[in-house]
Structure 1
Amino acid sequence: MHRRTLLLSAFLAACTPTLGAFNALVPKDAGARRVAQDVAYGDGRRRQLDVYAPLDGGPHPVVVFIYGGSWSSGDKGDYSFAGAALASRGFVTVIPDYRLVPEVRFPSFVDDCAAAMRWTQDHISEFGGDPLRIVLVGHSAGAYNAIMLGLDAHYLRDAGVDASRVRGVVGLAGPYDFLPFDVDATRDAFGQAHDLALTQPVHFARADAPPLLLLWGEADTTVGPRNLHGLEAAMRAAGGDVEARTYPGVNHVDIMLALSRPLRVRAPTLTDVVAFAERVTA
């Protein structure tokens, strides 16, 4: 094992690191590079994005990766391991920041992700990406944002995005069916909504939605199985295209950290995401 990987494994065993520290330590995939940093897709520091690309010119299909953090934390700079992993597999990868609680509440963080999609539609060809083949991938709260963009059609429409460009959506350990609000994170983010049903992705299941891949770890104590199975059942009842997979022994964070090079033994997250994205963008 590489010395740096040994140090990372010891670090993880000894403490619970911040994601920034993890990202700084973890070895990144070769065959990819960051080609743009802190690009504005809207006003303010939180509406900026980074772009990662394969080393060859393309055009390549595109992944927009939306990180989690209970809608109240997160920074795109902590996810270069994910950007490099996806770009090394042949996807131009966009990682946006978005505004967070308490600065904003629902639906502003979803609106921001829709605005990042508009930037991607309009500009990703400048970085070797194909704007006609976009896949959304999100983890946790980011999976919520991604699935809402895929299912509730008004977000992309209002942002001026052609929804047919979204070929598929992947949710990693996302909350999709979580009424009543029973934790501070959801009460703070959604409690002021006028119609609570409209905060739930499961409410928008439809036959003509882009294909969905829903992944969840069976050791996840943050987002329960109701979210996975509820949306899967609603999509099937509506006649939609959905696939759901569960990973034994994998928790809420493992499923996302498994995108990194040394932790892929924990879950086949990257393999499953890439296979799905390749299929829907073929």
Structure 2
Amino acid sequence: MKILLGLVAILLLAGGALLMAIRNNGPAVLDAVDRLTGGTRGVTLVSKTQYGDHPAQKLRIYAPEDASQPLPVLLFVHGGSWRWGDPDDYNFVARSLAPEGFLVVLAGYRLGKSGRYPAMLEDTAAAIAETARLAPQFGGDPDRIVVSGHSAGAYNVVQVALEERWLEGTGASVRGVVGLAGPYDFFPFDSESTIASFGEVGTGAESQPVNHVRADAPPILLIHGEEDTLVKPRNSRALAAALEGVGAPVETRFYDGFDHNAPLISLASPWRNSRDVDTALVEFAHRVTEVSVPVQARIP
């Protein structure tokens, strides 16, 4: 019995240490854990490219093995308070979602001073446009793009999808949006990260997704943890209420016991098998990109 209790204690300590490492070292640790416990899942990195001259303006494109084409495209934008983050640390997102029948694109954007508003939105729009241009080369359908993001990345994709000026003239459009633990109603700016990214450039309420709701917005899925103290769940509730108020299509999922990072962690092995965040995201993305007749692949 003492041996058994000792093993349980060791496992609990190891699990706690792992979760602490994820919180402290972030997505890179999570990516390593996912790769070790879940393998490649038949997902291949098919392109490493840039959509601009800045090193952060990168795209990483992943495709599943032996999938029918053309595939709907799922673009993911990382978080990091608009100050840090790298798509190369988020391969686990591709390994989670590509096997479900998507061409997955991980997009970066300028950070810190060079990424202050509206640069992060300019970059997100440019990443979407470049994704639409490149998708046919890798088996993706440029007319069936879903954009998603976590935290600051969720802000980026939601704002670009709602405020029409960002994609005007690019020829790109989105069929759906998924926000994980995103800030959508945070003006006036009162935190270090929002002041650094928004306050210093003199912007105001026009930067807030909640102020750009429209009836013809693409369908939006908002996922948030009830225990999120960094980006409080009222952000998702406020945006959902505003969208519902104008008759726009919106769905919400709020998870008891989830903190800010839990929705993202839920996309990685071994956690994704015990949580339904990935299922909710996949079902939503397939539904909004569903076609009634076979789609013919475009010739580049």
User: What is the CA–CA distance in structure 1 between the aligned matches of 2:87 and 2:13, rounded to whole Å?
Assistant: 24
Q: Please name the residue that 1:107 is paired with.
A: 118
User: What TM-score does the superposition give when structure 2 sets the normalisation length?
Assistant: 0.86
1:261-276 counterparts in 2 under 5 A?
261-264=269-272, 267-276=275-284
Amino acid aligned to 1:281: T
Is the CA contact 1:29–1:88 (under 8 Å) kept in the aligned structure 2? no
Q: Please name the residue that 1:239 is paired with.
A: 247
Q: Deviations over 1:200-245 (max 9, x none)?
A: 0000000001000000001111111220111011101111001111
Q: Please name the residue that 1:151 is paired with.
A: 162
3-state SS of the aligned residue for 1:74? coil
Following superposition, the deviation at residue 174 of structure 1 comes to 0.2
Structure 2 runs not aligned, ≥5 long: 1-10, 291-300
Is the CA contact 2:59–2:106 (under 8 Å) kept in the aligned structure 1? yes
- Are residues 237 and 279 of structure 1, via their aligned partners in 2, closer, same or farther at CA, if it must alter by over 3 Å? same
Larger radius of gyration: 2
Amino acid aligned to 2:54: G
1:1-282 counterparts in 2 under 5 A?
9=15, 11-13=17-19, 15=21, 16-18=23-25, 19-27=27-35, 28-37=39-48, 39-57=49-67, 58-158=69-169, 160-163=170-173, 166-264=174-272, 267-282=275-290
Q: Please name the residue that 2:3 is paired with.
A: none
Structure 1 runs not aligned, ≥5 long: none
Is the CA contact 1:29–1:85 (under 8 Å) kept in the aligned structure 2? no
User: What is the CA–CA distance in structure 1 between the aligned matches of 2:77 and 2:223, rounded to whole Å?
Assistant: 15
Sequence identity (%): 43
Q: CA RMSD in A?
A: 1.9
Is the CA contact 1:193–1:199 (under 8 Å) kept in the aligned structure 2? no
Moved segments of 4+, more than 6 Å: 5-8
Q: Deviations over 1:97-149 (max 9, x none)?
A: 11001223101011101111111111111011010100001100000001011
Following superposition, the deviation at residue 17 of structure 1 comes to 4.4
Amino acid aligned to 1:59: P
User: What is the CA–CA distance in structure 1 between the aligned matches of 2:129 and 2:219, rounded to whole Å?
Assistant: 20
Aligned residue pairs total 274
Amino acid aligned to 1:225: P
User: What TM-score does the superposition give when structure 1 sets the normalisation length?
Assistant: 0.92
3-state SS of the aligned residue for 1:261? coil
User: What is the CA–CA distance in structure 2 between the aligned matches of 1:192 and 1:161, rounded to whole Å?
Assistant: 32
Amino acid aligned to 1:273: L
Amino acid aligned to 2:18: L
Q: Deviations over 1:42-75 (max 9, x none)?
A: 1121111100111125210000000100000001
186-195 or 72-81, which deviates more = 186-195
3-state SS of the aligned residue for 1:35? strand
Q: Deviations over 1:3-30 (max 9, x none)?
A: xx99984641464441213312323451
Is the CA contact 2:181–2:233 (under 8 Å) kept in the aligned structure 1? no
Amino acid aligned to 2:50: A
User: What is the CA–CA distance in structure 1 between the aligned matches of 2:15 and 2:240, rounded to whole Å?
Assistant: 35
User: What is the CA–CA distance in structure 2 between the aligned matches of 1:6 and 1:116, rounded to whole Å?
Assistant: 41
Amino acid aligned to 2:207: T
3-state SS of the aligned residue for 1:264? helix
101-110 or 124-133, which deviates more = 101-110
Is the CA contact 1:247–1:267 (under 8 Å) kept in the aligned structure 2? no
User: What is the CA–CA distance in structure 2 between the aligned matches of 1:192 and 1:181, rounded to whole Å?
Assistant: 10
Amino acid aligned to 2:28: G
Is the CA contact 2:220–2:251 (under 8 Å) kept in the aligned structure 1? yes
User: What is the CA–CA distance in structure 2 between the aligned matches of 1:268 and 1:42, rounded to whole Å?
Assistant: 35
- Are residues 66 and 6 of structure 1, via their aligned partners in 2, closer, same or farther at CA, if it must alter by over 3 Å? farther
User: What is the CA–CA distance in structure 1 between the aligned matches of 2:217 and 2:16, rounded to whole Å?
Assistant: 43
